[in-house]
Structure 1
Amino acid sequence: MAKSILVTGGARSGKSLLAEQLTLQFGQPAIYVATAQAGDAEMAARITDHRSRRGDGWTTVETPLALVQTLRDTDDGSPRLVDCLTLWLSNLMLAGADWGGEAADLAASLPALQGPVVLVTNEVGAGIVPANALARDFRDAAGVVNQRIAAACDEVWLSVAGCPMRIKPQ
């Protein structure tokens, strides 16, 4: 059984940088499993910034929907970083996919993987109640996904203002 780590936090909390550091502790080359899609210029710029920060020690695999299959396909012992689960969830919801089933499959697959995996997610439930139904559905779904994956992971980290805190195990 490989080690699995979940890193959570708010927007611009330092969670991706923390996840990159945790992933590289398992060695190189590392695989960056990207769930983002460059649907506009701003998102394309974000993706470019992430890639330039990571440098050359990474291989990128893009998978907006088929995350579990991608983790199985890349399970050669190399450490993998999944960034991020909330974008993956958004992609699933927009595609009309069974996000609950996909999250359950992901949680069930983590203990069977041979190589370590670090997963990034956003903590979206700490703010105000969203004003519209779609945003409330997304917030609620993200909470469910985060709980399922946190329960399946060996470690959970929270990043706040660039300060990492390990919250599982304590």
Structure 2
Amino acid sequence: MPGKIIMVTGGARSGKSEFAERYVLHYSPKCDYIATAEILDEEMAERVRLHRQRRDARWINHEAPYHAERTLEALSAETGAVLFDCLTVYMCNLLYGKDAPEGEFLERCQVVFDEIDKVLAAARNCGKIVVFVTNEVGSGIVPDNQMAR
């Protein structure tokens, strides 16, 4: 059975992750949670702590800042739904993280697009409902630098 993909989007710190957590639990009493953040500073450590605090024994947690398709391909049969939080952070990891491709910005973007295609294919093939959380970028003040845009 092909998986169903749902996207939850909203502004930064708008409550979209909490909404998505409640939403996913309507599909299955036990769910997978794919976390993409790397803790690189105190602010991120606090955000991750708050996210973890909300999740109880109904969640199977997976850390996947890179190669998330592998995590999607190896999910347990005991869950019926997956929350992927967050696609924006995952893309930033791919573009600027420790294994980021080299070259011009547009060349690096193509590598990232290829990686996202792998994640989407794995989501479609996992046989579960996969809810992706992503940030609504560009709807506020226009950032002053290329990376932020």
Is the partner of 2:38 in helix, strand or coil?
coil
Instruction: Confirm or deny that 1:92 pairs with 2:87.
Output: no
How far did 1:58 drift?
Answer: 1.0
Q: Which amino acid aligns with 1:109?
A: A
- Name the structure 2 match of 1:59: 60
Instruction: Confirm or deny that 1:119 pairs with 2:132.
Output: yes
Is the partner of 2:147 in helix, strand or coil?
helix
Is the partner of 2:148 in helix, strand or coil?
helix
Percent identical:
42
Q: What TM-score do you get using the length of structure 2 for normalisation?
A: 0.83
Aligned equivalents of 1:128, 1:41: Cα separation in 2 = 25
Aligned equivalents of 2:127, 2:77: Cα separation in 1 = 7
Instruction: Confirm or deny that 1:33 pairs with 2:34.
Output: yes
How far did 1:112 drift?
Answer: 1.8
Ranges of 4+ aligned residues in structure 1 off by more than 6 Å: none
How far did 1:17 drift?
Answer: 1.2
Q: What TM-score do you get using the length of structure 1 for normalisation?
A: 0.74
Aligned equivalents of 1:111, 1:69: Cα separation in 2 = 13
The one-character-per-residue Cα deviations of 1:25-55 (angstroms, maximum 9, x if unpaired) are 1112211110011111221111111111122
Aligned equivalents of 1:56, 1:109: Cα separation in 2 = 25
- Name the structure 1 match of 2:121: 108
- Name the structure 1 match of 2:141: 128
Q: Give the superposed CA RMSD.
A: 1.6
- Name the structure 1 match of 2:105: none
Unmatched runs of 5 consecutive residues or more in structure 2 = 102-110
Task: Say whether the 8 Å CA contact 1:35–1:83 is kept in structure 2.
Answer: yes
How far did 1:105 drift?
Answer: 2.0
Aligned equivalents of 1:67, 1:37: Cα separation in 2 = 13
Aligned equivalents of 2:26, 2:13: Cα separation in 1 = 22
The one-character-per-residue Cα deviations of 1:72-99 (angstroms, maximum 9, x if unpaired) are 1115262111100011011000132421
How far did 1:23 drift?
Answer: 0.9
Task: Say whether the 8 Å CA contact 2:84–2:130 is kept in structure 1.
Answer: yes
